[in-house]
Structure 1
Amino acid sequence: MTFFFDSMACSEISDYHALSDSGRIEFNRFTIFIGANNSGKSRLIRKLFSADSGDLRLCSSVLSGELKDSLGSMINLISKNKANKFFKGADALAIANGDLVLRNKISEFINEYNKFCDFVRSDDRLSGSVAEIEVSNQQRVNFKNNPTCPMVKIDPSWSSLAKNFGRFYLPALRGMRPLDKDNDLFKSRTIADYFSLPGFDAKNVITGYNLYSLLASFLLGKPSQREVIRRYEKLLGDHFFNGNEVTLIPQYDGDTVAVKIGDEDQFPIYDLGDGLQQVIIITSAAFLTEEFSVFFIEEPEIFLHPGLLQKLAVFLLEFTEHQFVAVSHSNHLLDLAESRSDVSINKVKKDRNDGGLQFLVESKEQDQEILEALGVTPSSLFLANSSIWVEGITDRLYLRRFMQKYIEELSEDAGRSLLSSLSENFHYTFVEYQGAALSHWSFSRTGSDGDENDELSALKASSNIFLIADGDIKNKGNRVDRLKASLSENFYLLDCKEIENLLPLEVLKRTAANFYETKRTNKNFVNIDGLEKLKYETYSNSLRDGIGRFLDRACSVPKESRFFAEDSGTIKNKLRFCKIALSVMDEIEWDLTDEVRDICEAVFEHVKSCNYLS
C-alpha cells in the first residue's frame, strides 16, 4: 500500500510544497526525509502522523504487489515497454481517471484492464466502500473507439480505506529504561510537545515503554501469538546477534524485559547495548503489529552503528508488510535507495520569499547535494572491518546480489545464520576503483609497489582489502604480478573478461530479451530468437570478448551495427542492463554458477576472518 499527501487538502501543512509534477509528496515502502537541522522534516512527519485521514490520499498502488503477479503484460503496456517499471500508483490513478491511454494494442490493453477490474472486485479488502467499478459493454465499445474516454472511474481519494490503516509514531525520545514505574514519561512529554489535540489517540506513540506488556500479551495469548514471538526471536538472533539464540522474557512481578543470548546468563534488557535496544524497540513495534500500518520514525540511527542501521531498514522491509517514513541525518541509508526500488529519498528545505516561510520537498536521486544536506565531508571515517574492492557500480550490484543468493542456497548446517548476520558497512563495505584508476593505487604495506612513488596508498583509505579484478587486466603490463605480490590471497582475478560474463544463462537470456524489448532504436536487424544459441561454458571462459559481443553474435547483428555491444565488446548501457538483470533475478528461479559460488566463498571467508568469526 502506498499513500501520498495532498497538501492542498490540509491547511495545517499547506506550507509544505512538493517539487513534483503532481504537486504531491509521494511515499515508497521506506521513505527517508533528509535535510539540514531545522529544515522542517520532523515537523512534516509529525503532521502526517496526526493529520486527519481525509487529508491522506491512497494511490492505486495499494494493489502493486498483487498486480505485479496478476496483470502480466499490462505492466509492459502501461510503462510503454520500459522494463523494470512496476505498476506505479501515479500510472494507475491516471488510468482510472482516463488521463493515461495507449493508442496501440487497444484490444490487449482492454483484456488486461478487465483482469484488473475483476481482481479489484474479487479482493475483499477493496470491495464495496473502497472502489466502485462498473464497466459496461457500451463503455468498452466507447473506449475502443476513443481511447481518451475513461473506461472505469475509481474514487481517487479512497477515503474509507485511508481511515482503516494504522499510523504509529516513534519519537526521538525512546528507550527501555522506565523513568517512572506507572507512567511513560517519554510519551507524555512527546504528546505535550507535539500532539495536544482533542481526541488524539496516544496509544499510537511508541517509545519502548510498552514492550513488557506487548510481549506478555503475546506470550500469554493464543498458540499462534506465542509462535509469532518465537519467530521474532529467531529473526532477531539471526540478523542482529550473529546467529545466537535470543529469548525475550517479561519477568514475573517486574516492569522490565529480560533477555537471554545464547549460553549467557539472563540479564535485564537495559543492560543490552543502547543500539540493540533501539533495534528491538523499532522491530518489535513493526513485527508485532498485525494490521497494515505506516510507521513514522524519528532518526532510526540513534545509538546505532551505521551497518546495523542499514540492516534494521532491510529487516523492516523484508519481514514486515508495513510502510515506513523516517527522518534521518545518516548517509548510511542512501545505499538502500540505490539498490532497492522500494526505498526513496526526499529532501526538505526552508524557503523564504515575499509570501513568507514555506517548506519545499523534493524527491532526490543520489548526488552530492544529498551528502551536503547531511553534512557528510571527505573526512568521514571508514568504519567497516573489511573492504571489498570492485571495478565499478555494476560489479558491486551484481556481487551484492550473488552474495545474497549464496546465503539463500546454504543449509543451516553450512552456516547460513552466521552469514545472514553479516552487515554491509559494518562487517564489510564496497569500494569502487574504476578500471584504469587501479594503477594509481598502491596496495603494499611498506609503500609504493610500482615504479613511481606518487601512487595512492590504498591501506590508508580502507582496511583489510579484498580486491576483485576483471580477467582482461592480464594483458595490461605487470599489473597482475604486482597485485598478487601485494595482496596475496586477498587478490581475486576473474577467469573471464568481466563479471557480466558470469551471469547464469537463463538470467542472461531473459535480461537481454527485456533489454531488446525496451530499446527504442531500430532493431529490425536483430534476430532476438538467436539468444537460444548462447552457451554458458563459452561466454563465461572468454578473456577477450565481453558479453555484449556474445549477444550480438548470437542475434546475428552485423559487426558495423552493434546492438548490444560497445566497441570494446562489453555491454552497452551497463548500469541499465545490470538493473534489468537484478529485476530478472527477483522474478525467476535461478542458481549460482560454480564460478560465482567460488567468488562468494572467497569473499565471505575474507569477511569472516576480518571480523574474527568462525
Structure 2
Amino acid sequence: MLQGIKLNSSLEEEFSGSRYFGILSNIRKINTFVGVNNSGKSRFLRTLFSQSKGTKFIYEIDEETILNILNQTKEIIRIIDSLKAYGIKYKYWNSLNSLSETIEKNEVDVLNNILDIYWYLSTLDVHEFELTQNQYENHLRGTISQTKSYVTNLGNLINKLGKDNNKIEKIYIPILRGLRPIAQSEDSFSTDDIYLNRTKHDYFQAEIPNGLIFTGLSIYERVKRLLLGDESERNEIKEFEIFLESNLFKKKITLIPKYDDDVLHIKIGNETQFPVHKLGDGLQTLIIILFPIFINRSKSHLVFIEEPETHLHPKWQRLLYRAMCNIENHTYFISTHSSVFINSPSNSIFIVSKKNKKINLHYSDVKTEKVQILKELGYKPNDLYQTNFLLWVEGQSDKIYLNYLIQKVDNTLIEGEDYSIMFYGGSSYKHFLMNKGDLNLDFIESLNQNYALIMDSDRSKSGERYNPKKKEIVNLFKKNKSYCWLTKLREIENYIPIEVFKESVKTIHKVKNIQLDSSQFGDRCKYIDLNSKPTYKPSIKLSNELFSKIQKNKNGSLKGIMAPELRKEIEKSLNNTKQTINTIDKIKVAEKIVNTGFEMENDELNKKIIALVKDIKKAND
C-alpha cells in the first residue's frame, strides 16, 4: 500500500505545505486535489506523473528504520522530560508522547505519525514551554540546542525513506480527451491522436518511463487490436463489456470497431448498433476514463485524472467513483471541483492554493469526528474546501451581521466565492481547536489555509476578565499570524446602535414599548414588554444580599433576619415577577437589522472589519 511520495528536492522551490518536508503523505486509494482555478491542481498532477526520476515512492517502512527513528525520538523526549526538574513544562507533551507510543505499536498511518513527530521536534522553541521561574530560561535554551543533533539525525532518516521507482506503472488522462477523431484530411478524418500530440507538446516533451497518456482517440485501434488478438486479448474486451454492463448500462454491451468507419460502435441490449458518438457526452467520458484503468487492472498503476466530472451529471459522477473503487490495484490522483468526489468519505483530500508564489498543498482528513460535528451543523466538505477564505463565527445571527459588515466595507466581495462564513455553535469551538489535550490549529488549517475566528467575550462589565481559554486561543492565532477577534463588548449585538436594535426587536416581536439593556455589556437577547399586564408568579428570587446572610447561618435558617426585612424582600421579589422577560428571535432580528441598515459607529468594530476585509482580499489575490 502506497503511504507517501517523496518529491525530488528540486521541486521544493515550486511546492510547499504545512509540516512539509517534500513528502506527500496520507495517501489512500483515491486522492482528491481541490482548489480554485489556477491554484495548481493539474500542474501538480502532471508533476507527479512525469517526475519519476528522483521521486521516491514510500510503501511499507521496514522495522529497522522505524526502530532507528523511534530511538532518536525517545532520546529527544528524554532530554525534554529532564526539564520538569526545573519546573519547565512542554506545552505539547501529550501530543508528542502519544505519537511516539503510536509508532512503537506500529499502528496505521506510521508515516504520518513520523512526520508529525518531526514537525514538533524540528520547530522546538522557547515560547512552547511554560517556565515557573524565569531564571531557568538560559537552561531551557541550552536544552533545546542540545536536541538539534538528534533532530538532524531524525531528519536524515526520514529523508532516506522510500525507494527510487522509475519502473512504476502510470496512467495519465488529460482534460483534453474524446472518442472521435477530429483532425480532418480531405474527405476523411485522420486517426492521428492529436490530443496526445498536443498534451505531450505542452507538458511532457521528455519521455515518461512506463507512463501511458490516454486521451480516448486511440480506443478504436486499441479495441480492434485486442479483438483480433489471441483468446486472452479477446477476453479482455468481453470482460470490459461485462464491467460496463454491471457498473453503468445495466444492459448487455458490445463494442464494435466497424470496418468501414473511424469510430467505435456500440450495441446496447437489443438495440441496433450505432456509433459511440451518438451516446451522450457523459457516457463517452465514462468509457474514456474506465477503459485504460480496466484494461491495465492486473498490475498496480498510479492513475492521474484531470477533472473526471467533465460532462457528467452528479449521478454519473457517483457511478464513475464506484466503478473506480471496484478496480482494486490502482491508486488514483484526481483534480476536481466536483462535490461528489470531494464529499466521498473514503478519499484523501488535498487543498491546493497559491502561497508565496508556490503551489501550497495541505491534507485534510474528512473522516475525523470534528468533520462529523460540522456535518451535524449542516455543512458538507465541499462547502469548506472550495473557498478562498474561511471565517468562523459563533452563531447564525453572527454570520448575518458579518456578511453585512464585510459588504459595507467592500461590496465587491461575494460570500461563497471570495470567502465563506461558518458558525461553530458557541463553546463547541473547543472541539475544533483541541487535539489530544492540546490547543492547536491543525483541524482548522486542514480545511483551509486562509482562516479567521471571531469570538464573543461574554463579559458582563468592562473590568471583567476575559475567559482564560479564549485568551489562549487569541495568542495561538497571533502566533500563527492569523486573524482572531475576541470582542471587547459582550457580543456582536452590542456593537449595533441601540435605537436600530431596539426598533428591530419591536418590529419582529410586534410590541410597542419595551425595556432593553442598552449598556455596552448588557444582554440584548432579553427584553421586557412594558405594556403587558402584570401576572404575578409563585416563584421568586432572593437578592444576593439577603441570600448571603442566610448562607452565613450554614443551615438554611433565617436566624438573625428581621421579619420586616424579610417581608420587604418578598414584596420586592414578587413585584419583579410581574414583568415577563422575553427572549428575542436572534436570527429574525439580525435579518431585520441588516435590511434596515446601520452605521459602524464603534471604533473597535470599524478597525476589526477593515482588517478582516484586508485579509480576505489578500487570500483572493
Structure whose alpha-carbon radius of gyration is higher? 2
- Per the TM superposition, whether the score is higher than 0.5 is no
- TM-score bin (small chain): 0.3 to 0.5
Return the TM-score normalized by structure 1: 0.44
Return the TM-score normalized by structure 2: 0.43
